[in-house]
C-alpha cells in the first residue's frame, strides 16, 4: 500500500478532534455532577452502606428539590409499593399524573404504576378504572391480565369471561380458566334457592364449548364439568345420567376418580348394584392407585365380603403404597363394626379397633389435606382455584401424604 504524504496532516487533526471531544464530555459530566443536589449522593452512599430507609429519605428530598426527575419518581414509587407503603407510592405517582407537561409515554407508565398501587392496596374499584384507561396502550396486555385478576377476586364471573376472552384475542392462545368461570356460574345457580337447574345447565354447555376450543383440554376441566353434570342429573332425579357422568370421569380423567368414588358408591347403593361398582373400582385402582379410592374399596369390601377380604386388600395396598392415613380410615371402618384387630398372627392378644384408630388418627390429621403445587397452601377440601396463589388447577387430586411419598426418593 502506497504511503500518502497528506496522511501526516490528517492524523494529527483526528487526534486533536478526539482530544477536544473528550474534554467536552468531561466538562459536561462535571457540570452535571455539580448540578446534582447533595441529597442524591447521600442517597447513593446510604444504598452502598445497606441503609435503604435513609436512602429513600434522601431521594425523596431530591425529588422535592427537582420535580422534573421523572425516573426518580418512578423508582421511589416502586420502592414504596414493594415496602407496603401504599399511600406514599400513590402520592408519588399522582404527582406525576398531575403534571401537564408529562409526555404521553410517561403518563401511561405512571397510570400503570398507580393502577398497581391501587390493586395492592385492595382498592379494586380504583384499580379497575385505572386499568381500563390503559387498554389500547402499550400496557394493554398487562391491563387486561390485571382486570382478569380483579374480576376473579370479586367473583364477577361474567366480566371475567369477557376479560379473558379479550386476553385470548391479544395473546392468540386459549385461556384454560375460562372453563372454570362457566363452572363457577353453574355452581352459583345450583346453590341458589330454589336451584337454577336450567341456568346451571346453560353454563355447563358453555363450559363444554370452551373445552372444545382448547387444543389440549386438561383432565381437571373435564372432571369438573362431569361432576357438575352429575349433580344436575341427581337434582333432577335422573340416576342413570348421574351415574353415566360419574363413570365417564374414570375413563376421561382417571386421576380424579378419588373425588367421585364416594358419590359413585352412594349411587350404586341406591340401586343395589354395589358388586358391579366394586369390580370396576378394583380394576381402576390397579391402574390408578390413590388413597381415597383405596378407602372406598376397603369399605365396600368390608360391607359386601366381610372383614377378612377387606383387610387382605388393604394389606396388599399398604405394601405397594404405604399410607398411615389409609390405615387410619380402614381402622375407622373396622371400629364401627365392633371387631378386633389382631396385632400378631397366631396369638390371642388383640387390640380394640377403636383404640388403635384413636392412636393412629392423632398422627394423620396433618396428612389429611390437599396442597397447592405452586405455593404449598394446604386445605382440607379440594379447590379448583388455590386460595393462596389464586392459580387454577394447581391442586393435585391427592392427599398431602401421597404427594410426600411420590416426591421422596
Q: Which of 15-29, 189-203, 390-404 holds the top average pLDDT?
A: 189-203
pLDDT band at 31 (very low <50, low <70, confident <90, very high): very low
CA distances from residue 282 to 52, 98, 255, 355 in whole angstroms, order as listed = 62, 69, 14, 29
Q: What mean pLDDT is reported for the chain?
A: 81
Average pLDDT value for residue range 160-174: 88
Residues 6+ apart with CB under 8 A from 399: 291, 292, 325, 367, 368, 369, 370
- Is the pLDDT confidence value at 369 over 50? yes
Report phi then psi at 53, rounded to 5.
-60, -45
The yes-or-no verdict on residue 156 having pLDDT over 70 is yes
pLDDT tens track for 64-122: 545 556 777 777 778 778 888 898 888 878 877 887 877 888 899 989 999 999 999 99
Q: Closest by alpha carbon to 404, among 325, 297, 329? A: 325
Minimal CA–CA distance to 113: which of 70, 154, 150, 149?
70
Fold of 67-171: 1.25.40
Does the pLDDT value for residue 2 go beyond 70?
A: no
Q: According to the model, what pLDDT value does residue 33 have?
A: 43
Taking 60 as the threshold, does the pLDDT of residue 59 lie above it? Answer: no
If pLDDT is split at 50, 70 and 90, which confidence band does 265 have? very high
User: CB atoms < 10 A from the CB of 394, how many?
Assistant: 20
pLDDT attached to residue 115: 95
Query: pLDDT over 90 for what percent of the chain?
Result: 48
Half-sphere exposure of 13 (CA within 13 A, CB side): 5
Share of the chain above pLDDT 70, in %: 75
For residue 186, the model assigns a pLDDT of 96
> pLDDT band at 128, cuts 50/70/90?
very high
Is the predicted pLDDT of residue 278 greater than 60, yes or no? Answer: yes
Q: Locate the domains of the chain by residue range.
A: 67-171, 190-213+220-252, 263-365, 369-409
Residue 385, beta-bridge partner list: 392
In this model, does residue 168 exceed pLDDT 60?
A: yes
Give 216's pLDDT tier (boundaries 50, 70, 90). Answer: confident
372 is in an annotated binding site: yes
CA dist list (Å): 374 to 176, 223, 386, 389: 17, 21, 9, 8
pLDDT at residue 1 in the model: 46
pLDDT given at position 238: 92
Amino acid at each position: 500500500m502506497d504511503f500518502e504524504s497528506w496522511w501526516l496532516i490528517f492524523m494529527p487533526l483526528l487526534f486533536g478532534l478526539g482530544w477536544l471531544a473528550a474534554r467536552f464530555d468531561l466538562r459536561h459530566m462535571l457540570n452535571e455532577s455539580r448540578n446534582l443536589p447533595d441529597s442524591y449522593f447521600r442517597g447513593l452512599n446510604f444504598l452502598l452502606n445497606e441503609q435503604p430507609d435513609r436512602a429513600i429519605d434522601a431521594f425523596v428530598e431530591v425529588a422535592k428539590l427537582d420535580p422534573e426527575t421523572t425516573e426518580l419518581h418512578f423508582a421511589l414509587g416502586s420502592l414504596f409499593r414493594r415496602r407496603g407503603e401504599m399511600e406514599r407510592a400513590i402520592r408519588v405517582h399522582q404527582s406525576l399524573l398531575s403534571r401537564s407537561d408529562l409526555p404521553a409515554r410517561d403518563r401511561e407508565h405512571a397510570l400503570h404504576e398507580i393502577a398497581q398501587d391501587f390493586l395492592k392496596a385492595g382498592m379494586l374499584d380504583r384499580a379497575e378504572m385505572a386499568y381500563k384507561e390503559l387498554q389500547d396502550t402499550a400496557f394493554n396486555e398487562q391491563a387486561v391480565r390485571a382486570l382478569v385478576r380483579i374480576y376473579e377476586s370479586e367473583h364477577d364471573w361474567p366480566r371475567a369471561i369477557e376479560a379473558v376472552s379479550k386476553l385470548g384475542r391479544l395473546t392468540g392462545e386459549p385461556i384454560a380458566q375460562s372453563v372454570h368461570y362457566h363452572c363457577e356460574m353453574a355452581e352459583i345457580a345450583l346453590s341458589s334457592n330454589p336451584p337454577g337447574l336450567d341456568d346451571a345447565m346453560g353454563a355447563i354447555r358453555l363450559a363444554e364449548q370452551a373445552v372444545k376450543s382448547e387444543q389440549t383440554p386438561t383432565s381437571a376441566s373435564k372432571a369438573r364439568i362431569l361432576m357438575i353434570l352429575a349433580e344436575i342429573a341427581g337434582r333432577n332425579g335422573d340416576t342413570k345420567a348421574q351415574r353415566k357422568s360419574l363413570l365417564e370421569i374414570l375413563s376421561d380423567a382417571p386421576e380424579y376418580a378419588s373425588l367421585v368414588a364416594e358419590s359413585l358408591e352412594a349411587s350404586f347403593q341406591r340401586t343395589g348394584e354395589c358388586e358391579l361398582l366394586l369390580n370396576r373400582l378394583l380394576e381402576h385402582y390397579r391402574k390408578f392407585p390413590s388413597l381415597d379410592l383405596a378407602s372406598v374399596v376397603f369399605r365396600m369390601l368390608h360391607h359386601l365380603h366381610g372383614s377378612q377380604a377387606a383387610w387382605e386388600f388393604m394389606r396388599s395396598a399398604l405394601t405397594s403404597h404405604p399410607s398411615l392415613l389409609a390405615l387410619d380410615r380402614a381402622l375407622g371402618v373396622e371400629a364401627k363394626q365392633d371387631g378386633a384387630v389382631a396385632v400378631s398372627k397366631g396369638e390371642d392378644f388383640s387390640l380394640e379397633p377403636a383404640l388403635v384408630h384413636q392412636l393412629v388418627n392423632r398422627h394423620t390429621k396433618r396428612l389429611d389435606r390437599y396442597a397447592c403445587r405452586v405455593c404449598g397452601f394446604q386445605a382440607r377440601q379440594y379447590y379448583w382455584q388455590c386460595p393462596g396463589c389464586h392459580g387454577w388447577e394447581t391442586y393435585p387430586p391427592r392427599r398431602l401424604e401421597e404427594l410426600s411419598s411420590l416426591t421422596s426418593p
